[in-house]
Amino acid sequence: MIAIIDYGMGNLHSVSKAVERLGCEAVITADPGTIAQADGAILPGVGAFGDAMQNLRHTKLDEVTKSFAASGKPMLGICLGMQLLFSESEEYGTHGGLNLLPGKVIRFSGDYKIPHMGWNKLSFHKAQSPLFDGLSEGHVYFVHSFHAKPEQESDLLATTDYHQQVTAIVGRGNVYGMQFHPEKSGELGMQLLGNFLSLTKN
């Protein structure tokens, strides 16, 4: 069973349906016991970093999420959910994150279109990652105005190019993050999500 963590922000339904299409049971939940018993957890997110962290702290789901990450079972952050894995964000002020991955989330800055929206090609940096088993680099769908800058190069699994190198997939141990929406990214997105789900069966 995959727990989709419900802290009041995120496209929970589309993520749940994608997980079910890939043959896994998905439960949208804010219950700490249900999350702790899950084989894997997904932290989705749409909206502002500060609001999301406030919701997580208010519901104590920040500690539940950290405990799940410490359990060694696979966890995936999607879009804002990936950004929340980092130490802090500068979105509308400075806000502390879950601090599961060292690094900062910063705003795109330059004379180009913001938000970054559309299909961009992934470049795999850690081809041996289990997320990439059997896959070739291809295009996925992004919508974001802020992007993560990991402190550790080893945490960077894949990037895309949008006027600079942009973090697309991160991972450390059992904790993964995807800046794009795999459930809205066609075949490659579903394959990446499927490879994550396969980790929950090991």
Per residue in 150-188, pLDDT (tens digit) is: 999 999 999 999 999 999 999 999 999 999 999 999 999
Q: Which of 24, 116, 144, 183 is catalytic?
A: 183
Q: Which of 116, 125, 147, 181 is catalytic?
A: 181
Residue 110, token pair as written in the block: 């330059």
> What is the pLDDT at residue 96?
98
Alpha helix stretches (DSSP H) within the chain: 12-21, 32-37, 49-58, 61-70, 80-83, 186-199
Q: 147 catalytic, yes or no?
A: no
* Cα 65 to the center of its chain, rounded Å: 13
Q: Which of 24, 79, 91, 95 is catalytic?
A: 79
> What is the pLDDT at residue 9?
87
Q: Please say whether the beta carbons of 145 and 107 come within 8 A.
A: yes
> Which phi and psi (to 5°) does residue 196 adopt?
-65, -45
Round the CA-based radius of gyration of the chain to a whole number and report it: 15
User: What CATH number is attached to the domain comprising 112?
Assistant: 3.40.50.880
165-172 vs 175-178, strand pairing mode: antiparallel
> What is the rounded average pLDDT of the residues 7-29?
94
Q: 79 catalytic, yes or no?
A: yes
> What is the pLDDT at residue 188?
98
Q: Please say whether the beta carbons of 184 and 141 come within 8 A.
A: yes
> What is the pLDDT at residue 126?
79
pLDDT digits (tens, 9 = 90+) for 118-160: 999 999 997 789 999 999 999 999 999 999 999 999 999 999 9
Task: Report yes or no on whether pTM surpasses 0.75.
Answer: yes
Q: 151 catalytic, yes or no?
A: no
> What is the pLDDT at residue 142?
97
Residue 43 has pLDDT above 90, yes or no: yes
- For residue 121, the enclosing domain spans 2-199
Number of domains present in the structure of the chain: 1
Dihedral sign for Cα atoms in the order 10, 194, 82, 186: negative
> What is the pLDDT at residue 11?
82
